[in-house]
Each structure stands twice: as C-alpha cells, then as structure tokens.
Structure 1
Amino acid sequence: MFSLQTIFGSGKQFYDLLDEAAVAAHDSTEALYEMLKSPENYHGLDAFKLARQRERTASDKINHALVDNFITPIEREDIESLGSALYKIPKQVERFADRFALAKHRLDGIDFAPRAAMLEQAAGVVVEMVKELRHMRLEPMSKLNERLRSIETEADRLILELHREIYSGRMDAADMFLLKEFFEILEKAIDRCREAGVVAYQIVLKNS
C-alpha cells in the first residue's frame, strides 16, 4: 500500500530549504570571525548582507512550501520553529557587524575573535544537526546536541571574562556601555544557535 507521503511527495524540499538556511547562517558567522580576526584588513559588509539575503530567501521559500504542500516530512510547527530559529542567527550577526563597522575605532585592544570563533563553531554544529534531520537518528543527534551545549558553555565562560573587564573600574562609562552592548549581541547570537539546535534535537526526539 502506498502512503500519502509517497503520493504527494517525500517533502525532501523542506530538508533542502532548512539546509540552505542553516548554511547561510553559518556563512554569516564565518564572515564575522574573519572580520574580527583582522579588523584592520576587513572592508565592507557585503558578506553579511548576502548571507542575510540568502537566509531571507530560504525562509520565504519555506513559508511558501508550507502553504503549497499538503504533506510535510515533519510537523509543520516544527518546520516553522526551526526556520524561525535559523533566521535569527544571521540577523544577530549582521547587527553586530553593522555596529562594529561604525565603532571599531573605539574598540582598539578588545579582541572579540575568540568569542566569534565559538559562535562560528556553534553555527557549524547547527548545520550538521539540520542535515541529520533526514535520518532521524537519535544517537548522532544527541552527540551533536552535547557538542553544541559544550560550545555554549565555553562561550559563556569567555563572555563572562569580558564582563569582568567591563566592571573592573578601569573603563569610563561610555566605553563600558559600548562594550556591554557588543558582548550582549555576541551572547545572543550564540543563544540563537543553541535555540536552533534545541529545536532540531527535539524534532528527532519526537520522530525517532
């Protein structure tokens, strides 16, 4: 007997579109790491704009596909939740990049690169988790989830160190406010990766 999924299609396009969204998010974090690794050699924000546009395009396609398709490979609410979580990653990254480009002359001596590296690693794990959705294997997804959790924990530790510097009393109020804003944006970007990973992990828990 043929299933409805066989008749109406396997829904592979949803996995492909989620892959596109995850890769675009990861690309934005790679661009940020490159920017913060060598800020004096980095000019322009085109890489961030392009990644964000690719994310928007993938998000729009996902929304249209949900309207046009009767059958989906996983619950519609899960597709929407994961698509929304992925969309927020490059949005947060671009926010940091825009502000950094304007304020980098005031940020001499502040090394954001190690934190950006953690963000890039987190986004890379999210790409793996989204790809793993096709297989619905709990053990590999659990390992990826633990990797993402470990990265988040280490990133939190690094950001806490930066907060200690902020409140050390060696900075004036304006610099404290500026750095606090940047640290919070970076922290939120890592949280967005974690949120996307949690959604992917929960999808596998429900369907494995």
Structure 2
Amino acid sequence: MFSLQTIFGQGNQFYTLLEEAAAAAHDSAKALHAMLKEADRQPALDAFKLARQRERDVSIQLSQELVDSFIIPIEREDIESLASALHKIPKQIEKFADRYALATQHLEHIDFAPRAAMLEQAAEVVVKMVRQLRNLKLEPMKALSDELRALENDADRLMLELYRDIYSGKLDHMQMFLLKEFFEILEKAIDRCREAGVVAYQIVLKNS
C-alpha cells in the first residue's frame, strides 16, 4: 500500500526553499564584503537588490507551498519562523548598502571590511545549519550553533573597539555619528544571522 508521503511527496520542497533563502542571505553578505573591500569605488547596489528579490520570491513560494501541501516535514510554525528570520538578514544588509552608498565621502578612512567578513562567515554558518535540517541530527547542529555564537561574541568585541575610536577625539561629529550608525547596522545583521541559527537549532531539538 502506498503511503500518503509516497503519493504526495515528503515535503522536501520546504527544505529546498529554506536553503535557497539562506543562500540568498549569504550571497548578500558576500556582496557586502566585496563592496567594502573596494572602498575606493562608488558602491554598486544591484547584487543586494537581486539577493533581496530572490529571498522575496522564495518567501512567496514557501507561503504557497504551506497552503497547497499535504505533507509538511516539520511544524508549519517552525517553517514560518525560520523563513521570517532568514528574510531579515538580506533586508538588514541592504539597509547598510543603501546608506553606505549615500555616505561614502564621509567614510573614506573607516574600514568596515573586517566586520563584513565576520558577517559573511556568520551567514555561511546559517546556510550550513539550514542544510542540516534534512538530517535533524543534534550533534552537527550544535557544533554549528557554537560556531555561530563564537562569531557573535567576536563581533561584540569588535564593537567595543568601535566605541574606543568614537571616544578617541580624532573624529568629527559627522564621522562619530556615521561610524556608530553603520557599525550598529552591521552588528544587527550578525544578530539576525544568530536569530536564524537559533530557530534552526530549536527545530532540530524538537524533532531529533
């Protein structure tokens, strides 16, 4: 006798769509790091718009699949929570890129690339965590969660260095304001990665 999963599929399309959303977030982070390494050029924003559009398309597909599918491999609320968390990563990165493009003349001597590199690493870990959902094995997911937490802690340490620069007295008021604003946007982007990782880890905890 054929099971319902045989007839209707096993819901693997949800994993595929979540992986695509995570990949779009990672691509956005890679584009930001590449842009900030080329700080002498006027930023191009096409890559960020494309990543955001990819993520939006995936979000629409996921919503439709949740309506149409008989078989859902994990709880509907978990899929929605993870999709929402992944959505916020490229959104936050695009926010940085848009504002940076308007303020480059005030930021010539400020190097954001090390923080962007950390964001790219965090987004890459998120991709790996989302891919692990197909297996629902706790140990590899915990190792990735620990790696993401360590990256977040390193980012917090770099933020302390930021405040040291702000209070050094070497910057004018405009630079102080912009430095604080842009680093806080980057910090929040890393936090968004961490939030997505927490959701993925909790899904495995519930289902392993």
Q: What is the TM-score when the length of structure 2 is the normalising length?
A: 0.96
Report the equivalent of 2:140. Answer: 140
Equivalents in 1 of 2:49, 2:68: separation in Å?
28
| Correspondences of 1:101-116 after superposition (within 5 Å) | 101-116=101-116
Q: What is the number of residues matched between the two proteins?
A: 208
CA distance in 1, matches of 2:42, 2:13: 36
- Pair 1:171 & 2:171 matched: yes
Counterpart for residue 199 of structure 1: 199
- Contact preservation (8 Å) 1:115, 1:159: no
- Give unpaired runs (5+ residues) of structure 2: none
Q: Secondary structure at the match of 1:44?
A: coil
- Report percent identity of matched pairs: 71
- Distance in 2 (CA, whole Å) between partners of 1:143 and 1:129 is 10
Q: Contact 1:14/1:62 (CA < 8 Å) preserved in 2?
A: yes
Q: CA deviation at 1:44?
A: 1.6
TM-score, with structure 1 as normaliser: 0.96
Q: Report the Cα distance in structure 2 between the residues aligned to 1:128 and 1:44, rounded to whole angstroms.
A: 28
Q: Distance in 2 between matches of 1:135 and 1:8?
A: 20
- Superposed CA RMSD in Å reads 1.3
Residue type at the aligned position of 1:40 = D
For structure 1, the residue ranges without an aligned partner over 5 or more in a row are none
Q: What's 1:161 paired with?
A: 161
- Aligned: 1:25 with 2:59: no
Which has the larger displacement, 168-177 or 9-18? 168-177
Runs of 4+ aligned structure 1 residues displaced above 3 Å come to 1-7
